[in-house]
Structure 1
Amino acid sequence: MRTSRIVAVGAVGIAAALALSACSGGSGGSSGGSTTLKLVVADYGTGPSNASATYWQGIADAFHKKNPDITVKITSIPWTGFDQQVQTMVQNKQYPDITEGDYFSNYAQDGLLYSADEVLTNPGNLLSTFKAQGTYNGKQYGMPFTTSSRTLFYNKKLFQAAGISAPPTTWADIKADAAKIKAKGATGFGLPLGPEEAQAESLLWMLGNGGGYQTAGKYTIDSAANVETFQFLTGLVDAGLTEPNPGTVNRTDLWQKFAQGQVGMINGSPALIPIIQSAGKLGASDWASVPIPGKTGALDTTLGVCDNVAAFKPNGHQAQIKKFLDFAYQDAYQLKFDKEYDLLPATTSAVQALSSDPVFGPFLTALPKSVQYPSDTAWANTKTKIQQTIGTAVTQDPKSVLGQLQKVATSGQ
């Protein structure tokens, strides 16, 4: 999430060295009738227990009590390095058994993954909204574990001080409101286009102009609509209505500044809520969230992100993986994770259990109409390049920057 992607703070361990040492290759995870499953997870790092490894260790311990012949060994990797480190493991044939993080399609293409129906007793309980995003060649391999949708958060105190009576619904509103907020000494709009999750922020703006990364399954990153979108964002930046140098600023940092009352507007997910609460600067009545503004009006759709579980074949632990995933996908653990990190469930039964929640309800309502990231094998490399470079589209020629990204996306097609 992360959507996704969703919150990328906190390092656990010694990054790549720890990840590789924790994931010895081959089938050495079984001995004397016992099995060790290697679980590699992205570190969300913002809940009460901080590191995601703490959440997963609780599941692993409870699972081991019921299945004493299976031990689950956990490696937690910060979001900013997760994809790269898992790729390195796979390249070195030091295969995990299960990952919980991001993309899967390249591994499915290489025949390394079990399909959802091979490692879940009830794959039909996974939210159908994300089935296509998790599918490769007509088969579901990416299994959503947690989900999120996006809205615009705005500081009601700053709006009142600036004489703004209603939240924005259009880009023109955003520009006008940001100028009034700037005049009061705060950042008008938080625009995180740094490497943490530039692909999400960019897509939210593209959607507002009828654009996106793909049209009818084909990459259209440098479309006229997307170029116009970044021309508008360049105008915001040039006018000083955002933070300086958005291409170097990460979402997590700007969320903290919003929580401190220093930013008037920012796009966010439910994961922003505990950050606001823990900062203690904004009360429940001091902020609100509304649909994402578009060029001509508020969007009736938004970005929907899921973080996928992938189950790897090379170690030969299908039966043990299935036991563990059936255990981990119980509603109790789905809801525990969502409450811990203020994210959304990935199963129909857990969504039903949470549907009446006053905080999560609006975000759950947005999920069925949400737009997902591409799921083809070009997306992994394209996403990385977007994270690294799309922020320069607000300081350089947008058409040139988006054109280079289009070449990356289509180079293998």
Structure 2
Amino acid sequence: MRSIRAAAVGAVTLSLALAATACGGGSSNGGGSDDSPKTLTYWASNQGASVEIDKQVLQPELDKFEKQSGIKVKLEVVPWSDLLNRILTATTSGQGPDVLNIGNTWSASLQATGALLPWDTKNFDAIGGRDRFLDSALASTGVQGKDPAAVPLYAMAYGLYYNKKIFADAGIGKPPATWDELVADGQKIKAKGKSPLGAEGANVSENVHHVFVFAKQHGADFFTADGKPDFTSDKVVAAVQQYVDLMAEDKVIPTGNAEYAQNQSVSDFAKGKQAMLLWQSAAANLKSQGMSEDAYGVAPVPVQSGTPGTGTRINSMAAGINVAVFGNSHNLDGARQFVKFLTGDDEQKVLNKAYSTIPPVKSAQSDAAFDTPAFAVPKETLATSSAPLPQVASESQFETVVGTAVKDLFADAAAGRAVTTDSVKAKLEKAQQQMPAA
């Protein structure tokens, strides 16, 4: 999912499990839509720099759909701080929209509620077929072996954004390819009076995204093959400690960043206050804050050694936004038509250009706009060195508890308290105890 927004995972509890029997067809969809087949309600996620910008992007496209289909779409852009809780409330009450955007990491958790329309072969065929979509995007649509709970809409991957002038002033000729190189470059940048690397230590979802990648690079997973939490293995502990040590030990992340929340590190980077930023598809966000594309470069996120690839050389989660349909919508045919419109080649080009994201529809990537430097790294990363976050029913709780554990560890580092293997393991053990029983 996109880092321009922080995921609203803080209030996810056992309500997901309880919701599994609370949803289904037949109840009013209650999201502002009447029962007319000529009306749909749509909850869009906040993809741009503001809700108002999203409305400016989306409304002309919804008008286009109405002209083509005769179906009016009532739009609400929901901030990421509210979106998941709004969805959970809708799943338990049955009062939701017809169509909605979800962060792709939530797919399995929301699938477990039973509220979303399963995308079986018949439904995929109605929008042009499953094989139109990238495999990496489809991998984050629900539990493997089950019909997907959603359809890929925007695809993203993390990159290392670096300020060209700061690098040149520090005598650094190329971006770092390994974490050791990043730390070494960070010391040169600090010697020139700049902050090396930004982070958002209070941003729970960002914390999870990064420690997931570090875990992959250590050859570890947060869940066992049968879906049980495994947060305290030696490799997971080492991975989390390595990320937090970028502040605690290596001193390349400023201690003030322990309190940073949504978009604060992006703002610092755009203003030239820091040299590097780990972010997903940041071009549109940086442009909106006045940073020219010529001022920065984009490189793959560092790995432990060598170059990004498969196995332990994974350097990004397979990020993105999916579009889903509530199964109790009174206008399922119209909802499928709308999803077909959003995932059609022409619309994929319009929307993904607007948000500097990658079309998860393969044929839409042929547009020359997606061959620029800003798109090259995320496209390559998605294709060769990304992995989906765990597609398990308790994924949303995992984001909450592990992301909070990392937040607490950053707070320790900022306060000068030692971050040790034992303290990291203790935080992760506490997080694991907060996970719901299978």
Distance 1:242 1:299 in 2: 23
**2:221 is aligned with 1:205:** no
Cα separation, 1, equivalents of 2:409 and 2:362: 39
Q: 1:406 to 1:243 in 2, by over 3 A?
A: same
Looking at structure 2, the residues matched to 27 and 386 of structure 1 have their Cα atoms a distance apart, in angstroms, of 33
Once the two structures are TM-superposed, the CA of residue 361 in structure 1 deviates from its matched residue by 2.9
Question: What is the 5 A alignment of 1:258-337?
Answer: 258-270=269-281, 272-280=282-290, 284=294, 286-300=295-309, 301=314, 302-337=316-351
| Richer in strand (by share) | 1
- Alignment-mate amino acid for residue 114 of structure 2: G
**Which segment is superposed worse, 124-133 or 217-226?**
217-226
SS at match of 2:320: strand
Separation in 2 of the partners of 1:273 and 1:303? 18
Q: Which of 167, 176, 200 is the matching residue for 1:192?
A: 200
The partner residue of 1:376 within 374, 385, 392 is 392
After superposition, where does 1:338-349 map in structure 2 within 5 Å?
Answer: 338-349=352-363
Q: Does 1:55 align with 2:50?
A: no
Normalized against structure 1, the TM-score is what? 0.85
Counterpart amino acid of residue 255 in structure 2:
P
- Alpha-carbon separation, structure 1, partners of 2:400 and 2:129: 29
Give the TM-score, by structure 2 length. 0.80
Who is 1:72 aligned against? 73
Change (3 A) 1:149 1:215: farther
Tell me by how many angstroms 1:340 deviates.
Answer: 1.0
1:116 alignment counterpart: 119
Residue 254 (structure 1) shift: 0.6
The match for 1:82 is 83
CA-CA distance at 1:378 after TM superposition: 0.4
Q: Secondary structure at the match of 1:373?
A: coil
- Alignment correspondent of 2:19: none
Structure 2 distance, partners of 1:175, 1:151, is 17
Structure 2 runs not aligned, ≥5 long: 7-26, 413-418
Judge conservation of contact 2:118–2:147 (CA < 8 Å) in 1. Answer: yes
| 1:264-304 CA-partner distances (Å, limit 9, x unpaired) | 2221222x2234344445661x4222222123344323322
Matched residue of 1:8: which SS? coil
Aligned equivalents of 1:361, 1:165: Cα separation in 2:
20
Q: State the partner residue of 2:190.
A: 182
Determine the C-alpha separation between the residues in 1 that align with 2:181 and 2:113.
47
1:87 Cα deviation after fit: 0.9
What is the 5 A alignment of 1:109-148?
109-117=112-120, 118-120=122-124, 121=126, 122-124=128-130, 125-136=132-143, 137-148=145-156
343-352 or 232-241: bigger deviation: 232-241
Contact between 1:247 and 1:390, CA under 8 Å: does it hold in 2? no
Shift of 1:27: 5.2
Query: Where does residue 3 of structure 2 map in the other structure?
Result: 6
Query: How far, CA to CA, are the matches of 1:66 and 1:96 in structure 2?
Result: 21
Q: Is the 8 A contact 1:205 1:229 kept in 2?
A: yes
Q: Over aligned residue pairs, what C-alpha RMSD do you find?
A: 2.6
Q: Offset of 1:230 from its aligned partner?
A: 3.0
Tell me, which stretches of 5 or more residues in structure 1 are unaligned? 10-24
* Separation in structure 1 between the aligned mates of residue 45 and residue 379 of structure 2, nearest angstrom: 23
**What secondary structure does 1:154 align onto?**
strand
Give a deviation string over 1:194-227, Cα, whole Å, max 9, x none.
Answer: 2253222322333333334345464433321232
Change (3 A) 1:73 1:260: same
Q: For residues 169 and 215 of structure 2, what CA distance do their matches in structure 1 show?
A: 30
User: Of 216, 220, 228, which residue of structure 1 is paired with 2:230?
Assistant: 220
CA distance in 1, matches of 2:224, 2:188: 36
Matches of 1:177 and 1:109 in 2, distance apart?
Answer: 45
Report sequence identity in percent: 22
Output aligned runs, 1:161-176, within 5 Å.
161-176=169-184
The 1-side partners of 2:252 and 2:68 are apart by 56
Partner SS state of residue 336, structure 1: helix
1:238 to 2:238 alignment: no
